[in-house]
């Protein structure tokens, strides 16, 4: 069945985990008393970059900044559609300085950058479907930011409420497979949001809590190949049954900070 799926070349922005560490706790995954193996994190991150390039994707890099240990999580810094960059205003004060460095990169590359007035965390909570934006709220990004994003981007924004603190960003509970379908964990969402997703995507690939806890939903799809955490074996099998090709990439060291493949990947559209 996989031959019916057509991959689309993507462009990604990433940031090397040179200064990666867990120095504070802003989600349930983070425990500063658990040491991070920076060398292992570097090796895992490099493996992700090699996997992207091996599948024909373009990867740009942003220089990391000392003192910003979460800067490696590039997805949280912005949301980009049609050359417009809707920047970030992080919920946690510790992460707010990251925004300036990403904004500077995008401006130097010629992009129109909007600095939001409301708390918003980029692709962590804003997901492009090809037609509209799915937007998470409940823990980080606010509903005011949803409205602000719609005004700036000119695309419809559909709000979804997250209810489980382990899945504090939308990209830990849902990812887009292609222009027609998504994969998500229903119980990460409020009852009304689950109904919205059922109506929008009646044929969605559904994940379990175990899949989500294995960071299986913090994945990146190019329409055919799905770059996914190796521990999410059951979800990978389900995706293969639907014609997608799982590409396991181990970013387990980043799970200590509540991040994974998608968190490390900003897509530039």
Catalytically active residues, by annotation: 169, 263
DSSP readout, the chain?
-GGG------EEEEE--TT----S-SSTT--TTS---HHHHHHHHHHHHHHHHHTT-EEEEE---TT-TTTT-GGGGEEEETTEEEE-B-SSGGGTHHHHHHHHHHHHTT-EEE--SS-B-GGGTEEE-SSSEEEEESSSS-HHHHHHHHHHH-S-EEEEEB--GGG-SGGGTEEE-SSS-EEE-GGGB-HHHHHHHHHH-TTPEE--HHHHHTTTTS-EE-SSEEEE-TT-HHHHHHHHHTT-EEEE---GGGGGGT--TTTT-EE--
């Amino acid at each position: 069945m996989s031959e019916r799926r057509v991959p689309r070349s993507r462009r990604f922005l990433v940031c090397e985990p040179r200064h990666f560490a867990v120095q504070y706790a802003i989600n349930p995954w983070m425990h500063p008393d658990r040491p991070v193996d920076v060398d292992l994190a570097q090796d895992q991150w490099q493996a992700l970059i090699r996997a992207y390039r091996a599948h024909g994707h373009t990867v740009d890099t942003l220089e990391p900044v000392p003192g910003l240990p979460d800067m490696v999580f590039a997805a949280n810094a912005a949301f980009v559609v049609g050359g417009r960059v809707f920047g970030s205003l992080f919920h946690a004060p510790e992460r707010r300085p990251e925004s300036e460095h990403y904004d500077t990169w995008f401006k130097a590359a010629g992009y129109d950058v909007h600095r939001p007035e409301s708390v918003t965390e980029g692709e962590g909570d804003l997901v492009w479907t090809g037609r509209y934006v799915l937007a998470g709220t409940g823990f980080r990004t606010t509903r005011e930011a949803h409205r602000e994003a719609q005004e700036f981007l000119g695309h419809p924004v559909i709000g979804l409420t997250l209810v489980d603190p382990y899945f504090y960003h939308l990209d830990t509970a849902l990812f887009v497979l292609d222009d027609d379908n998504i994969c998500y964990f229903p119980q990460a969402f409020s009852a009304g949001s689950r109904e919205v997703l059922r109506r929008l995507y009646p044929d969605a690939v559904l994940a379990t809590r175990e899949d989500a806890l294995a960071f299986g939903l913090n994945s990146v799809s190019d329409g055919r190949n799905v770059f996914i955490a190796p521990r999410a074996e059951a979800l990978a099998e389900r995706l293969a049954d639907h014609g997608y090709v799982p590409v396991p990439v181990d970013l387990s060291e980043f799970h200590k900070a509540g991040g994974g493949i998608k968190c490390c990947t900003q897509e530039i559209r």
